[in-house]
């Protein structure tokens, strides 16, 4: 009988299967019973997750989180996906690598790992800054598609305790975050490493070294004798040559087309040709969850990763969370399902917005710049400004969402002066008006104003700037908050949705103040709306948050 994908990839089944591969050493290291899913109401099926999951209140109240999308790919300071792009001839990453480190047939990405030393990293300083900015949860990247674990991994030797910083990066972040009362999350991007890193097995299709395979194709464990990577197997890192660029490609355009159609194809299927990778991913992810007990796990996937393995890990995580918290589920899993409704997790909209109030909590994740640090963005002052962050936060929260914002970190563990200034400016607004953000819930409508919202993943670049006439609503108890997405001209705010006799102003407004301030503001309400005057001294360049009583 042909085995099903569940037979091949479930955590329980994996315990008894010894796959012949570079990852077989994990069989010996796996403690008895480690593969077992924690006991509890959640079973590793979508039906069970959908029926039993409810988003925890801490996440609904938090609204704003900050993220350190930080790892070895930040060392070159050349932007996102460097470890893949450096093996694609003609790409900016390839040209940077050739100029800075040498040809990828000689110096591969694995040679960057010991250069990630985090020598100036001060997590206490960064998290103090993030707390002042109003963050209520903090997420740290545990691994990326480059397949390197930034924690004390029991099942993967390519990790930050053994190589590079020689530190348990996730463990240190976790302790520092919890010390400050922040909820702690981890992001796991490694499920795509098996195909994403296949460019490392390719070659230059053009030029003086055309046809010569890159470093991943010719480096094996035995070759490390007497080197910094002695005892390590590069094939465990690069994933094995499961779909290398075939021989005979003679143009960059042809190579790019092949990569896009093959190793660049983005899907969440478990690779039937590489079951060892799936098992190893399951062990590593379960180890990450059990060791650091995160409140949130972000999967950089459009579905739960690797089919049954993702279901197994998620069911284990939910049940384990209940065990850690006396039977209360405190766990959040993020995936990026697009327009699909997936009630067993919290949906994430990468670099995008939504048009209407969502009946279930959701999240946008975005970044001040490039996901991995880019020196060019700093030099050219192209970071996302603080005002834009605040305006999008208000829009997202008004629609039952959270914002997770990444602040790019340099290889040495520091953020640059521009980033620090932006985060401080975010904190300046949040320090005054965060009562209209934290712990709030949506109103009957999300807002009003002239600016259309561009929706969907990766759509934020198409969004036009909001104006002071764009207003977003949130509620807390009996208070309605109206947040202007810009500085009101002349201190005059008119809220059309609260017009007397309108569908939303069923009761008269009794009192208006600024969020976090008890000083009453002058207002009047008529059939054109609620009209409020805010003194010049109380205005903020990004906008203001009015606290309105009597309507709810």
Q: Is residue 203 within 8 Å of residue 88, measured between CB atoms? A: no
pLDDT surpassing 80 at residue 32:
no
pLDDT digits (tens, 9 = 90+) for 113-163: 999 999 999 999 999 999 999 999 999 999 999 999 999 999 999 999 999
| pLDDT interval class at 452 (50, 70, 90) | very high
Backbone angles phi, psi at 138, to 5 degrees: -130, 135
Share the mean pLDDT of the chain.
Answer: 94
Q: Is residue 286 within 8 Å of residue 49, measured between CB atoms? A: no
Average pLDDT for 65-71? 98
Which is it for the CA torsion 91, 259, 104, 155, positive or negative? Answer: positive
Residue at 514 is within a domain: yes
Same domain for 30 and 163, yes or no, is yes
Last residue of a domain, one of 304, 330, 350: 350
Residue 536's Cβ-count burial label (10 Å; 0-12, 13-18, 19+) is exposed
Same domain for 340 and 477, yes or no, is no
Give the number of other Cβ atoms within 10 Å of residue 489's Cβ: 11
Query: Which residues of 92-236 form beta strands (DSSP E)?
Result: 137-143, 183-188
Backbone angles phi, psi at 379, to 5 degrees: -60, -35
pLDDT surpassing 90 at residue 16:
no
Last residue of a domain, one of 327, 350, 373: 350
Which one-letter DSSP state was computed for residue 292? H
Whichever domain contains 500, its CATH number is 2.60.40.1180
pLDDT surpassing 60 at residue 95:
yes
Cα Dmax for the chain: 82
pLDDT surpassing 60 at residue 7:
no
What is residue 350's predicted lDDT score, i.e. its pLDDT?
Answer: 98
What is residue 376's predicted lDDT score, i.e. its pLDDT?
Answer: 98
Q: Is the pTM of this model over 0.75?
A: yes
What is residue 34's predicted lDDT score, i.e. its pLDDT?
Answer: 81
pLDDT digits (tens, 9 = 90+) for 218-236: 999 999 999 999 999 999 9
Same domain for 12 and 145, yes or no, is yes
What is residue 55's predicted lDDT score, i.e. its pLDDT?
Answer: 98
What is residue 166's predicted lDDT score, i.e. its pLDDT?
Answer: 98
The better pLDDT of the pair 75, 10 is held by: 75
Residue at 412 is within a domain: no
Determine the Cα–Cα distance for residues 543 and 433; give it in Å rounded to an integer: 10
Residue at 385 is within a domain: no
Of 359, 349, 341, 454, the C-alpha closest to 400 is 359
Q: Is residue 492 within 8 Å of residue 386, measured between CB atoms? A: no
Residue at 487 is within a domain: yes
Reduce the DSSP state of residue 175 to 3 states and report it: helix
Least confident of 33-42, 91-100, 281-290, 487-496: 33-42
pLDDT surpassing 90 at residue 442:
yes
Share of the chain above pLDDT 90, in %: 92
Residue at 287 is within a domain: yes
What is residue 339's predicted lDDT score, i.e. its pLDDT?
Answer: 87
Same domain for 467 and 345, yes or no, is no
What is residue 168's predicted lDDT score, i.e. its pLDDT?
Answer: 98
Determine the Cα–Cα distance for residues 9 and 342; give it in Å rounded to an integer: 22
Determine the Cα–Cα distance for residues 36 and 11; give it in Å rounded to an integer: 7
The better pLDDT of the pair 31, 168 is held by: 168
In the block, tokens 């407004």 appear at 509
The better pLDDT of the pair 11, 393 is held by: 393
Determine the Cα–Cα distance for residues 533 and 521; give it in Å rounded to an integer: 7
Determine the Cα–Cα distance for residues 164 and 436; give it in Å rounded to an integer: 43
Average pLDDT for 487-498? 98
What is residue 29's predicted lDDT score, i.e. its pLDDT?
Answer: 53
Q: Is residue 131 within 8 Å of residue 184, measured between CB atoms? A: no
Residue at 379 is within a domain: no
Same domain for 186 and 335, yes or no, is yes
pLDDT surpassing 70 at residue 323:
yes
| pLDDT interval class at 486 (50, 70, 90) | very high
Contacts of 138 (CB under 8 A, 6+ apart): 65, 66, 67, 68, 127, 130, 173, 177, 182, 183, 184, 185
Q: Is residue 329 within 8 Å of residue 321, measured between CB atoms? A: yes
Query: Among the residues of 362-409, which ranges form H helices?
Result: 375-379, 386-398
Last residue of a domain, one of 316, 350, 384: 350
pLDDT surpassing 80 at residue 188:
yes
Radius of gyration of the chain (CA): 25
Same domain for 140 and 263, yes or no, is yes
pLDDT digits (tens, 9 = 90+) for 237-276: 999 999 999 999 999 999 999 999 999 999 899 999 899 9
pLDDT surpassing 90 at residue 277:
yes
Give the number of other Cβ atoms within 10 Å of residue 378's Cβ: 19
Reduce the DSSP state of residue 185 to 3 states and report it: strand
Q: Which domain holds residue 489?
A: 457-549
Residue at 242 is within a domain: yes
Whichever domain contains 193, its CATH number is 3.20.20.80
Same domain for 158 and 283, yes or no, is yes
What is residue 30's predicted lDDT score, i.e. its pLDDT?
Answer: 65
Determine the Cα–Cα distance for residues 201 and 5; give it in Å rounded to an integer: 27
Residue at 388 is within a domain: no
What is residue 31's predicted lDDT score, i.e. its pLDDT?
Answer: 73
Same domain for 344 and 483, yes or no, is no
Rounded-to-10 torsion of CA 48, 276, 338, 63: 70
pLDDT surpassing 50 at residue 48:
yes
Number of folded domains in the chain?
2
Determine the Cα–Cα distance for residues 288 and 467; give it in Å rounded to an integer: 43
The better pLDDT of the pair 9, 32 is held by: 32
Distances (CA, A) of 394 to 64, 67, 402, 536: 10, 18, 9, 22
What is residue 2's predicted lDDT score, i.e. its pLDDT?
Answer: 37
Determine the Cα–Cα distance for residues 397 and 375; give it in Å rounded to an integer: 31
Share of the chain above pLDDT 70, in %: 95
């Amino acid at each position: 009988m042909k085995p099903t994908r569940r037979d091949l990839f479930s955590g329980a089944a994996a315990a008894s299967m010894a796959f012949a591969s570079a990852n077989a050493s994990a069989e010996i290291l796996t403690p008895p019973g480690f593969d077992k899913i924690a006991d509890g109401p959640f079973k590793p099926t979508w039906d069970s997750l959908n029926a039993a999951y409810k988003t925890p209140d801490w996440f609904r109240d938090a609204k704003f989180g900050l993220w350190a999308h930080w790892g070895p790919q930040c060392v070159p300071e050349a932007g996102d996906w460097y470890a893949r792009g450096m093996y694609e001839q003609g790409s900016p990453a390839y040209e940077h690598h050739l100029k800075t480190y040498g040809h990828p047939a000689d110096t591969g990405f694995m040679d960057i790992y010991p250069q990630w030393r985090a020598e100036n990293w001060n997590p206490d300083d960064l998290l103090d800054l993030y707390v002042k900015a109003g963050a209520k949860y903090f997420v740290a990247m545990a691994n990326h598609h480059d397949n390197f674990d930034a924690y004390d991994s029991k099942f993967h030797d390519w990790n930050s305790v053994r190589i590079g910083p020689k530190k348990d990066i996730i463990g240190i972040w976790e302790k520092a975050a919890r010390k400050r009362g922040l909820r702690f999350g981890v992001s796991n991007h490694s499920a795509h490493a098996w195909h994403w890193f296949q460019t490392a097995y390719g070659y230059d299709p053009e030029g003086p070294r055309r046809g010569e395979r890159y470093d991943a194709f010719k480096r094996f464990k035995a070759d490390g004798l007497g080197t910094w990577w002695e005892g390590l197997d590069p094939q465990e890192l690069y994933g094995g040559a499961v779909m290398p660029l075939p021989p005979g490609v003679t143009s960059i355009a042809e190579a790019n087309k092949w990569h896009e159609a093959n190793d660049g194809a983005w899907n969440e299927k478990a690779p039937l040709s590489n079951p060892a990778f799936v098992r190893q991913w399951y062990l590593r992810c379960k180890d990450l969850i059990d060791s650091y007990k995160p409140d949130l796990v972000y999967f950089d996937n459009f579905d739960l990763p690797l089919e049954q393995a993702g279901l197994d890990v998620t069911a284990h995580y939910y049940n384990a969370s209940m065990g850690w918290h006396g039977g209360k589920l405190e766990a959040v899993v993020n995936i990026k399902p697009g327009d699909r409704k997936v009630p067993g997790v919290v949906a994430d909209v990468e670099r995008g917005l939504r048009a209407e109030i969502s009946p279930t909590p959701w999240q946008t994740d975005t970044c001040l710049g490039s996901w991995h640090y880019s020196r060019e963005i700093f030099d050219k002052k192209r970071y996302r400004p603080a005002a834009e962050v605040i305006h999008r936060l208000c829009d997202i929260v008004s629609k039952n969402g959270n914002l997770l914002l990444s602040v790019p970190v340099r290889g040495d563990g520091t953020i640059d002066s521009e980033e620090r200034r932006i985060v401080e400016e975010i904190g300046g607004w949040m320090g005054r008006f965060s009562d209209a953000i934290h712990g709030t819930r949506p109103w009957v409508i999300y807002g009003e104003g002239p600016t259309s919202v561009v929706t969907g993943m990766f759509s934020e670049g198409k969004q036009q700037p909001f104006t002071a006439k764009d207003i977003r609503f949130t509620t807390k108890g009996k208070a309605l908050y109206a947040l202007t997405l810009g500085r009101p001209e002349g201190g005059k705010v008119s809220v059309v949705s609260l017009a007397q006799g309108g569908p939303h102003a069923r009761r008269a407004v009794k009192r208006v103040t600024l969020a976090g301030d008890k000083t009453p503001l002058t207002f009047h309400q008529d059939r054109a709306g609620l009209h409020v005057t805010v003194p010049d001294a109380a205005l903020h360049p990004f906008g203001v948050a009015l606290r309105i009583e009597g309507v709810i």
